[in-house]
Chains A and B, each alone.
Chain A
Amino acid sequence: MKESLNSPGVQIPEELSGLVAITTLDRIYNWGRRNSLWPLMSGLACCAIEMICTAASRYDFSRFGMEVMRPSPRQADFMLISGTVTKKMVPQLVRLYNQMPEPKYVVAMGACASGGGPFKEGYSVVPGIDKFLPVDVYIPGCPPTPQALLNGLMKLQEKIDHQALKTDAHWYKKDGSAPIPVPILGPDLIDLRKVEQIRLASQVQQPASDADNNEVPHE
């Protein structure tokens, strides 16, 4: 660990190496954060099983300081979206994300969470969680193997390494970050940020000629 803590280019006398580290505030701050990332314990679909395998003995992500799976969002550092996000589930996920304390991260695991996956064409699937939450790392694969997941989590650590306190730590700013409006379930999923658009789009449409058909197909 000391290699990543030490600032590069600073010479430490040989007799002190291993005892002393000369570093910047950014570096030690990020070093502490990257090695104690606690995930939110939330499994959605198939990928959740691979996530559990990654947490289990063979791949064991406690080697990265991630073993403390928190069932409560208040204690979690990052959210692992492991599986297909459906329209019925996304309000809950947004609410969970809003409840997580800053700094918080989102990892989209697998094709479904990243972009809808094989189920993208389905009527009740959200094509990518990034429609609602800011995603930090995307891991392709269906499902990503545990090693691929670990690779993605290391990418997240890499991202944290490059965050400077002065410029990137928006969570210490006064205004902070506003919560994401929780979508509501209507005839389809209503994203409260798009209300105006939805009204316009549904005004443009002509009423369906077929009384049996409740939904109008788009060309």
Chain B
Amino acid sequence: MSDQSAVVGTVTEVFPDWFSPDSRPGYAGYIVPSERMREAAGYLKNRKHFDMLTSVTSADYFPEDRIEMVYHFRRSTGGEPLRIKCFLSRVESQIDSLVDVFPGAELQEREVWDLMGVRFTGHPDLRRILTWEGFAGHPLRKDWKEPFFEDEIKPYKSRWPEGKFIRAEEKNPLGDNLCFPPGFDPESWVPDKDEILYKSMTRVAKAGEDGMDSDTIIVNLGPQHPSTHGVFRMVARLDGETVVDLKPVMGYLHRNHEKIGERNTFLGNMPFTDRLDYICSMSNNFAYALAVEKLLNIAPPERAEYIRVIMAELTRIVNHLVANGFLMNDLGAFFTPVLYSLEEREFILDFFEAASGSRMMCNYYRFGGVVRDLDENMMSMLKAILERLPRKMDELEKYLIGSEIVRIRSEGVGILTPEAAIANSATGPLLRASGVPYDLRRADPYSIYDRFDFDVCVRYHGDIYDRFMLRIDEIRQSIRILKQAVRDMPSGPVLTGKPQYQVRVPAGEAYGRVEGPKGELGFYLVSNGKTNPARYHVRAPTFINLTSLAGMSRGNKVADVVTILGSIDIVLGEVDR
């Protein structure tokens, strides 16, 4: 945090009523009065060059009457994030929206409104995002209980020693995961018909060149659609075939990750993180382990660090293979590129399975290391994969990048300018393909990435083709890192301390982040000294990257929208959580 205080330290002298340091033990950053937040954000952006609003979240400190808004600002030139907090009352819970200063706050503020019930004044489109219009209550508030609520924290007492098996349904009066507000009459209920959504979309009534007045139409893509990469919905307003406006609709896979995570023990969240971005479970583990290690103030041994990097880079390769494969699918190269990509992925999955026990849900990282060592067999397996991969990448490149169809459909389509990318808080390949060389492994190094020799890949056109090529470049860089890691790997233990199933974590807050394959994956944790986190927030890269989707789609044809979406590379488990 030295970086931060150097920046804001001067500010506190100039504007003592704006920024006051958060001096609670275990906490860091600055507290800003909520009515000053918008000005402060503008000041940080324009004068102090904190041009990216990385994450917007909130934490409920029930039973105290306090909700804290937590903002993380970053500089696109690198460095640690700056944490700013605002204290709100739980009853009033209102704050100025930052959307006109940082457009990247749009979806995040909607999420905070939906789950925490903080109203943002001046937000252009404050609707529920993960649940639906009409949903009762704001689930992340600590006094909100779900229908299957059993206890505040796990482990539940009903499991042992008198753990008679009983299904949760049997304890619910409706025999299902349901709970209605008192006095609710289902027959008089009028469900939301998305009218507000449709009305909120830009409408252009214009007379065509031939004098004919043509109206625009609304097209819903998804949630059940073969090319939306899962249960994702896009509402597009079309003028002919051209997209006038587009709104993403999500929440079809909202699995209450954060609510469940606040009840789980710290260790119990580890396998849940696997199911966030289910294609790259290892990097989810990595970010979460880093966050908890920050709270615990421990570091993994040398060998574990190398194993972690190996796993994270293999995950990156897996993700980029899959992302590129499915992008080609969207472009019309139906399934052959995916099949070739998945073939290579299988070998890496075999390696993951041998190391961790599961192909996809690895649950491999522990606080202070990894769960088990890689033996000689596994190392030779890894070397064989590293020998095969470059060859196959050449083949894939030869197969796809020269193809005229690929180039015509992807070059110059879905352009995202660097300014827009930064303003929308985009991270990962989406940002780097727009010409911003921002990679957390270099910009805000973690683990042992400073020891490896690799390039931050960057491309400058910001179109679909560049995103596709950037992923191929990154695979090559990952292979480079992997080769160095295998070469330098020391022997020794892989876990600090004894394996513990109930870690007591000192009170405080921490933000752990990695450069995940899709962007900055961060975990914001608040601990109150118990065995479970008091607040558990996931800064999901693809969720925030989707802010750019509308801007990239406007003016393109509707057929290109699916490819633009494919090039962002979303995974719904992470978008909806």
Binding site for B on A (CB under 8 A): 41-46, 48-50, 52-53, 56-58, 71, 83-84, 86-89, 92-93, 96, 116, 118-127, 131, 142-143, 145, 184-191, 194-195, 197-199, 201-208, 210, 212-219
Residues of B within 8 Å of A121, CB to CB, are 146, 148-150, 168, 256, 260, 263
- In the complex, what's the smallest C-beta–C-beta distance from B431 to chain A, in angstroms? 25
Interface of A is mostly: loop
In the complex, the chain B residue whose C-beta lies closest to that of A219 is B171
Select B343's contact among A52, A58, A210, beta carbons within 8 Å: A58
Decide: B278 and A45 in contact? CB cutoff 8 A: yes
Select B192's contact among A58, A126, A185, A219, beta carbons within 8 Å: A185
Q: How far is the CA of A44 from the CA of B278 in the complex (A)?
A: 12
- In the complex, what's the smallest C-beta–C-beta distance from A179 to chain B, in angstroms? 17
Is B91 interfacial (CB-CB < 8 Å)?
A: yes
Decide: A217 and B174 in contact? CB cutoff 8 A: no
Q: How far is the CA of A28 from the CA of B279 in the complex (A)?
A: 41
Residues of B within 8 Å of A191, CB to CB, are 176
- In the complex, what's the smallest C-beta–C-beta distance from B56 to chain A, in angstroms? 22
- In the complex, what's the smallest C-beta–C-beta distance from A127 to chain B, in angstroms? 5
Decide: B149 and A46 in contact? CB cutoff 8 A: no
- In the complex, what's the smallest C-beta–C-beta distance from A104 to chain B, in angstroms? 16
Residue contacts A-B, CB under 8 angstroms, 12 given:
A45-B230, A45-B573, A46-B361, A50-B359, A56-B338, A56-B342, A88-B254, A119-B256, A120-B168, A127-B168, A187-B134, A207-B183
Decide: A204 and B173 in contact? CB cutoff 8 A: yes
- In the complex, what's the smallest C-beta–C-beta distance from A169 to chain B, in angstroms? 28
Binding site for A on B (CB under 8 A): 90-91, 131-132, 134-139, 141, 143-150, 168-169, 171-174, 176-187, 189, 191-192, 223-226, 230-231, 251-257, 259-260, 263, 271-272, 275, 278-279, 338-339, 342-343, 346, 359-361, 572-573
- In the complex, what's the smallest C-beta–C-beta distance from A38 to chain B, in angstroms? 14
Q: How far is the CA of A207 from the CA of B184 in the complex (A)?
A: 11
Q: How far is the CA of A56 from the CA of B225 in the complex (A)?
A: 19
Decide: A185 and B186 in contact? CB cutoff 8 A: no
Residues of A within 8 Å of B173, CB to CB, are 201, 204, 218
Decide: A215 and B260 in contact? CB cutoff 8 A: no
Q: How far is the CA of A71 from the CA of B227 in the complex (A)?
A: 10
Decide: B189 and A205 in contact? CB cutoff 8 A: no
Residues of A within 8 Å of B343, CB to CB, are 56-58
Residues of B within 8 Å of A58, CB to CB, are 342-343, 346
Q: How far is the CA of A44 from the CA of B573 in the complex (A)?
A: 9
Q: How far is the CA of A189 from the CA of B226 in the complex (A)?
A: 26
Q: How far is the CA of A121 from the CA of B226 in the complex (A)?
A: 29
- In the complex, what's the smallest C-beta–C-beta distance from A157 to chain B, in angstroms? 24
- In the complex, what's the smallest C-beta–C-beta distance from A58 to chain B, in angstroms? 5
Given the known interface contacts A121-B260, A188-B179, the answer about A198 and B255 at a Cβ–Cβ threshold of 8 Å is no
Decide: A92 and B144 in contact? CB cutoff 8 A: no
Decide: A215 and B256 in contact? CB cutoff 8 A: no
Residues of A within 8 Å of B338, CB to CB, are 52, 56
Decide: A189 and B178 in contact? CB cutoff 8 A: yes
Decide: B339 and A216 in contact? CB cutoff 8 A: no
Decide: B185 and A185 in contact? CB cutoff 8 A: no
In the complex, the chain B residue whose C-beta lies closest to that of A211 is B91
Decide: A122 and B184 in contact? CB cutoff 8 A: no
Given the known interface contacts A123-B147, A214-B137, A218-B171, the answer about A202 and B252 at a Cβ–Cβ threshold of 8 Å is no
Decide: B342 and A218 in contact? CB cutoff 8 A: no
Decide: A127 and B255 in contact? CB cutoff 8 A: no
Residues of B within 8 Å of A216, CB to CB, are 145, 179, 181-182
Q: How far is the CA of A56 from the CA of B572 in the complex (A)?
A: 21
Given the known interface contacts A44-B230, A92-B224, A190-B189, the answer about A212 and B260 at a Cβ–Cβ threshold of 8 Å is no
Residues of B within 8 Å of A57, CB to CB, are 339, 342-343
Given the known interface contacts A45-B572, A123-B139, A187-B134, the answer about A201 and B180 at a Cβ–Cβ threshold of 8 Å is yes
Residues of B within 8 Å of A93, CB to CB, are 224
Decide: B177 and A186 in contact? CB cutoff 8 A: no
- In the complex, what's the smallest C-beta–C-beta distance from B116 to chain A, in angstroms? 13
Given the known interface contacts A56-B339, A186-B134, A194-B174, the answer about A215 and B144 at a Cβ–Cβ threshold of 8 Å is yes
Residues of A within 8 Å of B230, CB to CB, are 43-45, 48
Q: How far is the CA of A203 from the CA of B255 in the complex (A)?
A: 29
The 10 closest A-B pairs by CB, nearest first: A122-B256, A217-B145, A214-B137, A187-B136, A123-B146, A46-B278, A205-B182, A202-B184, A71-B226, A56-B342
- In the complex, what's the smallest C-beta–C-beta distance from B330 to chain A, in angstroms? 13
Select A116's contact among B132, B136, B177, B184, beta carbons within 8 Å: B177
Known: A124-B255, A188-B179, A215-B145. 17 other contacts (CB 8 A): A41-B226, A43-B231, A46-B360, A56-B343, A88-B254, A93-B224, A116-B177, A121-B148, A184-B189, A185-B192, A187-B134, A187-B184, A201-B180, A202-B180, A202-B184, A212-B141, A218-B171
- Most chain B CB within 10 A, of A124, A143, A190, A205, is at A124
Decide: B168 and A83 in contact? CB cutoff 8 A: no
Residues of A within 8 Å of B174, CB to CB, are 194, 197-198, 201
Decide: A84 and B181 in contact? CB cutoff 8 A: no
